[in-house]
Amino acid sequence: MKPISWVAQLLLFALKTSSPHVLKDCPPQAGSATRANIDNPVMRKILFAICALINLIVPAHAEPLSPTDLKGLLAQIRDKRAAAPQMQADFQEEKFIHLMTKPIMSAGKVWFQAPDKFRREVKGTSPSVTVSDGQQLWIYYPNFKSAEHYSLGKRSPLDATIAALLAGLNLQDLESNYHVTASEVDNGYQLDLVPRRPSLKRFFQRLTVQINAESRAQRTEMLQPNGDRIVTTYSNHVTGSIPPSTFEFTPPPGTEITTPLGK
């Protein structure tokens, strides 16, 4: 059976559209405690000892950047993107689905040209090729010799889907599309993006993007409205000219072509 493409999954999702008692001053990682345990002097000492240990082990959240520093960081990202609008990288992806005990793993390579051209090749036993030139989107499944074709633009319902999926790579117009906060982390920064537009809110509640000193995405984590998460890590970044043919797709002879959203 052919797997449902991630574009179709997100689109279908968009179209459908008592608390435990925790000791004071004890972080959530310690779990919950019953009233009987809290009232027991021995248990109280043990629990507070555990809380103190966890507070030492679990690092505190980094302080968010000031508005001035955030404005400077976003300007730096814009300048870096303008200087290098084309990039390619390897990726590894984990999809944490709340109905499944183990994440769905995939890996491959992605090519991107700002603002909206990309190619995404998934390797392994269930390969796929997703290609967009900004106006047309193709998803090809080599094992099944089948392809899905979508038209973009003209207020297509897929436009918001693509914007959500490319947010971690594009990083353009962040302030107009998202509520943005940022903090400094090892070897770079972490951006927390909360969608402003309802069309984006259908696809995710929050997107966390970790970038390095060169403003290249190292890791993204997307939290979807149903609680599912998609974690993607990038490596082996390369900037420089990418042939225009990379963002074009011609179905091989004999390919079965479908248009799930109509022509």
pLDDT, residue 47, reads 42
The answer on 135 and 48 residing in a single domain is no
Q: Are residues 51 and 74 in the same domain?
A: no
Separation CA 114–CA 244 (nearest Å): 13
pLDDT at 137 over 80: yes
User: Looking at the predicted structure, is the pLDDT value of residue 153 above 90?
Assistant: no
* β 256-258/146-151 pair status: parallel
Q: How many whole angstroms separate alpha carbon 44 and alpha carbon 48?
A: 6
Note whether 98 and 174 are same-domain residues.
yes
Does residue 251 fall inside a structural domain?
A: yes
Tell whether 142 is covered by a domain: yes
User: Are the CB atoms for 210 and 185 separated by under 8 Å?
Assistant: yes
Separation of alpha carbons 24 and 15, rounded Å: 41
Sheet holding 188-195, edge to edge: 178-185, 188-195, 206-212, 217-223, 229-239, 86-96, 104-113, 117-122, 128-132, 136-141, 146-151, 256-258
Domain that holds residue 31: 19-57
Amino acid residing at 171: L
Angle at which helix 158-170 crosses helix 6-15, to 10 degrees, equals: 120
Side-chain-side CA neighbours of 144 within 13 Å: the count stands at 18
Q: Verify that 40 and 68 share a domain, yes or no.
A: no
Domain total in the chain: 2
Residue 1 lies in a domain: no
109-120 confidence digits (pLDDT tens): 999 998 889 999
Assign residue 210 the CATH number of its domain. 2.50.20.10
Q: What residues does 139 pair with on adjacent strands?
A: 130, 148
pLDDT in tens, 11-42: 555 555 534 443 344 444 444 444 444 455 54
Tens of pLDDT, residue by residue over 36-95, are 444 555 454 444 444 444 344 434 456 789 999 999 999 999 898 888 899 999 999 999
pLDDT at 7: 58
Same domain? 226 vs 247: yes
Residue pLDDT, tens place only, 172-231: 778 888 999 999 998 899 999 999 888 888 888 999 999 998 889 999 999 999 999 999
Same domain, 47 and 139: no
Do 180 and 224 sit in the same domain of this protein? Answer: yes
Residue 55's SS3 state is helix
Tell me, yes or no, whether 29 and 79 share the same domain: no
Same-domain pairing of 196 and 98: yes
Q: Is 48 in the same domain as 69?
A: no
Question: Which DSSP category does 174 fall into?
Answer: H
Least confident of 5-14, 118-127, 148-157: 5-14
Do 134 and 231 belong together in one domain? yes
- Residue-wise DSSP of 115-171: TTEEEEEE-SSS-EEEEE-SSEEEEEEGGGTEEEEEE--TT-THHHHHHHHHHHHH-
Instruction: Specify the pLDDT at position 258.
Output: 94
- Using only C-alpha atoms, the chain has a radius of gyration, in whole angstroms, of 22
Please check whether residues 166 and 246 belong to one and the same domain: yes
Q: For residue 263, tell me if it sits in a domain.
A: no
